[in-house]
Amino acid sequence: MQEQGDSADDHERYSRQVRFEPFGEAGQERLREARVAIVGIGALGGASATALLRAGVRKLRLIDRDLAELSNLPRQLLLTEADVLAGIPKAVAAAAQLASIDHQAELDPRVQDLTAESCGELLRDVDLVIDGSDNFEARFLINEWCCTRQLPWIYGGAIAAEGRVFSILPGTTACLRCLVPEPPAPGDLPTCQTAGILGPVAMVVGAVQAAEAIKLLAANPLDRAGCVDGRMLVFDLWSGRWRNVDLSPLAAEGCPTCRGGETPWLNRQGAGAATVLCGKEAVQVAASAGGHVDLEAVARSLQGVRPGHDDPLDAPGRRGAQTQPDALSRWPGDRPRHARSRPGPRNSGQISRPVIA
């Protein structure tokens, strides 16, 4: 329960944003009651979490399996050098930083993978999900969970100088499967390890995701359809170009998930046993439910393996090709069937086709 002193503090704390007419006192109250799950507390998730908490969304579930690393610091706002030295999980470090912003925050850090088995535990009882993940398996799980429960979620991605944001409101907009019927094969797309990433790009994506979430959460649930326009924002901070891609034709057509209720990823029909970890030159291999992995046996089996041209990932030109413009243009859904591009105010020409890892 909110104390009287806290209520008075809140009046002053949020006094500027409640003066924004489309938001107002009613919007602020809805934010206070909302609960949001953020999947991935790295660059995008950290920026989103910071903006949401400062706006008044105090109930945040922070989901991330990773530990803080030195290479995270240029773009991940909620991590410090001390977190890296101590090997603190990102979700725990983020919760500590967020708690120092607002003592009334109700933070729920979870050092876990989002899997078909854990979705029910991690995404239950939330009003909205924000995607800060680094792999398509997590995104397809989020998409299926939200579509089958009519739950809004905000997709976001960033690579190099390019970013994308798309608000998905099941029953109104296209969903992720409408845009990307099948996920790309591991290694087909560049990552922040191969193509790099600029910190401000991730911060912009996270800020836009938070703004989209605030619009949806502050609205009357019956009016949420008016908060989304069915377009995906695509921008390049290096060239300064912005555009919106109209995905309403995909929404009209639908897909087996948002129209037919199919959930192959939640049913483990689409999930693979291995997940490429963004920026780590590593693969996570998941054991079957209740299974056991003999790590010593795995180590023995890998002793004779060394990088070479027998490995297709190390074939001549393979790694270099991943960062070339033609390879960067192959992200599924960049030019979805029937989609139309609406130039933004500064887009007088064609923008390079970005890839979101």
Q: How does DSSP assign 135-165, residue by residue?
A: SHHHHHHHHHHHHHHT--EEEEEEEBTEEEE
In a domain, 180, yes or no: yes
In a domain, 72, yes or no: yes
Q: How buried is 235 (Cβ within 10 angstroms: 0-12 exposed, 13-18 middle, 19+ buried)?
A: buried
pLDDT above 90 coverage of the chain, percent? 68
- How is the beta sheet containing 231-236 ordered, strand by strand? 106-110, 59-63, 35-39, 128-131, 153-159, 162-168, 231-236, 241-246, 340-343
Confirm if 89 and 96 have CB atoms less than 8 A apart.
no
SS3 130: strand
In a domain, 308, yes or no: no
The yes-or-no verdict on residue 81 having pLDDT over 90 is yes
SS3 177: helix
In a domain, 329, yes or no: yes
The CATH code of the domain that includes 62 is: 3.40.50.720
Residue 277 CB partners (closer than 8 Å, separation 6+): 134, 135, 283, 284
In a domain, 3, yes or no: no
Residue 32 CB partners (closer than 8 Å, separation 6+): 10, 56, 57, 58
Beta-strand runs (E) in the chain = 35-39, 59-63, 106-110, 128-131, 153-159, 162-168, 231-236, 241-246, 274-277, 282-285, 340-343
Boundaries of domain holding 220: 34-270+319-343
* pLDDT band per the 50, 70, 90 thresholds, residue 230: very high
- On the CB side of 186, CA atoms within 13 Å amount to 17
Model pLDDT, residue 75: 96
Kindly state the tokens that stand for 183. 């996920």
Q: How many helices (H) and strands (E) does the chain have?
A: 13, 11
Short-list 39, 31, 37, CA closest to 10:
31
* pLDDT band per the 50, 70, 90 thresholds, residue 310: very low
In a domain, 9, yes or no: no
User: Angle at the Cα of 337 (from 335 to 342), degrees rounded to 5?
Assistant: 55
Short-list 26, 43, 15, CA closest to 279:
43
Q: Indicate the range of 12-16, 285-289, 333-337, 347-351 predicted with least confidence.
A: 347-351
* pLDDT band per the 50, 70, 90 thresholds, residue 183: confident
Kindly state the tokens that stand for 297. 């046996």
Kindly state the tokens that stand for 166. 């798309």
Confirm if 247 and 230 have CB atoms less than 8 A apart.
yes
pLDDT in tens, 88-123: 999 999 999 999 999 999 999 999 999 999 999 999
The yes-or-no verdict on residue 356 having pLDDT over 50 is no
In a domain, 278, yes or no: no
C-alpha 49: how far from chain center? 11
Kindly state the tokens that stand for 311. 């490995």
Rounded to 10 deg, the angle between the 90-99 and 43-55 helix axes is 20
Dihedral pair phi/psi, residue 315, rounded to 5°: -65, 150
Residue 119 designated active-site: no
Q: What is the pTM of this model?
A: 0.80
Residue 66 CB partners (closer than 8 Å, separation 6+): 42, 89, 90
Kindly state the tokens that stand for 227. 């908060």
Write down the catalytic residue from 119, 192, 258, 278.
192
The yes-or-no verdict on residue 334 having pLDDT over 60 is no
**For the chain, how many structural domains are there in total?**
1
pLDDT in tens, 249-291: 999 999 999 999 999 999 986 555 555 555 555 566 655 555 5
Confirm if 62 and 245 have CB atoms less than 8 A apart.
no
Confirm if 114 and 63 have CB atoms less than 8 A apart.
yes
In a domain, 355, yes or no: no
